[in-house]
Amino acid sequence: GGGTRKIGYEDYYEFQSPLMQQAAQLTTMGEKKLLQQALKLSSQEAHRMRVRLQDVPDAPLFRPTPKEFEDPIRYIRSLHPIGERWGIVRVIPPPGWDPGFAIDPKTYRFPTR
């Protein structure tokens, strides 16, 4: 069809001087080569590292009180330094905690593109 077309990087590339096009291509080729080397080394390293699941430490576990969990977002933010250090934390909400539901699933519509 004859609709409108977005102008992308390819269009910009067409207007560059031949020398700039060649430099961009070399950079892309160099990046691809570096990426291939990194993937190869990563794969080799993964084969050398045989980790048993029982050797992986458990994530820090938190069981907040109802008072601590009145503002769940604030509570979770307070754990940021620990999560940053460990990479993950587990939070088990207090018994009976009910976050409710902020939208009516029967009437709410998600926007689409």
Q: Categorize the per-residue pLDDT at 11 as very low, low, confident or very high, splitting at 50, 70 and 90.
A: very low
| pLDDT one-digit tens code per residue, 37-72 | 877 877 766 666 666 777 778 899 999 999 999 999
Query: Do 89 and 75 contact (CB within 8 A), yes or no?
Result: no
Q: Categorize the per-residue pLDDT at 17 as very low, low, confident or very high, splitting at 50, 70 and 90.
A: low
Residue 16 has pLDDT above 60, yes or no: no
Residue 93 has pLDDT above 90, yes or no: yes
Closest CA relative to residue 96, chosen from 67, 75, 57, 76: 67
